Structure 1
């Protein structure tokens, strides 16, 4: 049912649902950090307030703009808005990756090496995917651009589905799930999200790139037949 760019509303809704918890958490953190009202389990991140705030803000923007960028109707009808939002999306993704790696290096970890390693690798992968996507757009290879943006979003918001599994446990126990088991769930769901993004790229992308409506020649196509 979910078909990239041909059935955009179901795809957008699916992305919004899967990333709802991390997006809402990021939005709350954007307010809490300047006020110094962090919950107990996040206070250690106050050691790097700038990186933490940038990470939360970038995560919120990246998570909100992602589903909108994949809506075909917006691309065709509002091409300029799509490009402007795309620039913010790329900057937010880069900020998300770089601030995440900065926190990984500067803040004492409370997770296992498995999750720490995954955060480092996927942070680099997110940044690389964004670079490839921008390069493809500059080369006017829009199909490849779309593919790399899908990959970037899958990597950047890959913990969203894990939150759907772990957040109910947090609500029931009052404590965030910790330890190897929860880290395995997070990394496993992260990999599954990346695999799902790749599946979308390979199986449901259009065979040719889309262009905004305003770039098409308004004149009647010329008939070159003799």
Structure 2
């Protein structure tokens, strides 16, 4: 299993699979907002369409560009393209960070106190990680730059990992997890993604 995950194709497939569901769900909501077709439990998003659109657009670009950006082929043979894609990647991450904080500000009662503190922490952590990555590359510290970008990517796609767990439960039961179980699944999924990225950083 470990040998398979070391293959670039396997890693790309895993990363894209992890981001695909969240991207699709977000894009569906973007279409539903102007049509007035949002489900009842998502009606609140119509009050802040700009923040939500910003979050989905940034998240989609971030999730799709991340695996490409970490490709050794792109970094080694196509340095200019790597830098251009990297700038788009950073801007997309900044959009996620700002919009997540904006949505949290407008909808503080959507989740529990524990989850809201997690969203606040992760939203800030994403911005900090991207800033540290950019400062590192300005100093030509390529190792630190790469490591902080990996950490930023893990924080940024954390919500998609949450979606991968919540969505099947929603389909099977007809409602998302609630209460303490929801808090544990939400924060645990996000933290698990970050811990996996930290293991990758320490291994490479």
Same fold (TM over 0.5): yes
Counterpart for residue 211 of structure 1: none
Counterpart for residue 79 of structure 1: 79
Large movers: runs of 4+ above 4 Å: none
1:109 aligns with 2:109: yes
1:169-184 counterparts in 2 under 5 A? 169-184=169-184
- Flag the structure with larger Rg: 1
Query: Which structure ranks higher in relative contact order (CA pairs < 8 Å, sequence separation ≥ 6)?
Result: 1
Counterpart for residue 11 of structure 1: 11
Distance 1:169 1:128 in 2: 33
What do the CA deviations read for 1:69-94 (whole angstroms, capped 9, x no partner)?
A: 11212222322222111111101101
Unaligned 5+ segments in structure 1 are 206-226
Hey, which of these two has a bigger chunk of helix by percent? 2
1:1-226 counterparts in 2 under 5 A? 1=3, 2-3=5-6, 7-203=7-203, 205=204
Distance 1:144 1:175 in 2: 42
What do the CA deviations read for 1:148-179 (whole angstroms, capped 9, x no partner)?
A: 00000111111333322221111112323332
By how many angstroms is 1:55 displaced? 0.8
Unaligned 5+ segments in structure 2 are none
Could you state the TM-score of these two structures normalised by the residue count of structure 2?
0.91
Report how many aligned residue pairs link the two structures. Answer: 201
Matched-pair contact (CA < 8 Å) for 2:22–2:164: no
Could you state the TM-score of these two structures normalised by the residue count of structure 1?
0.83
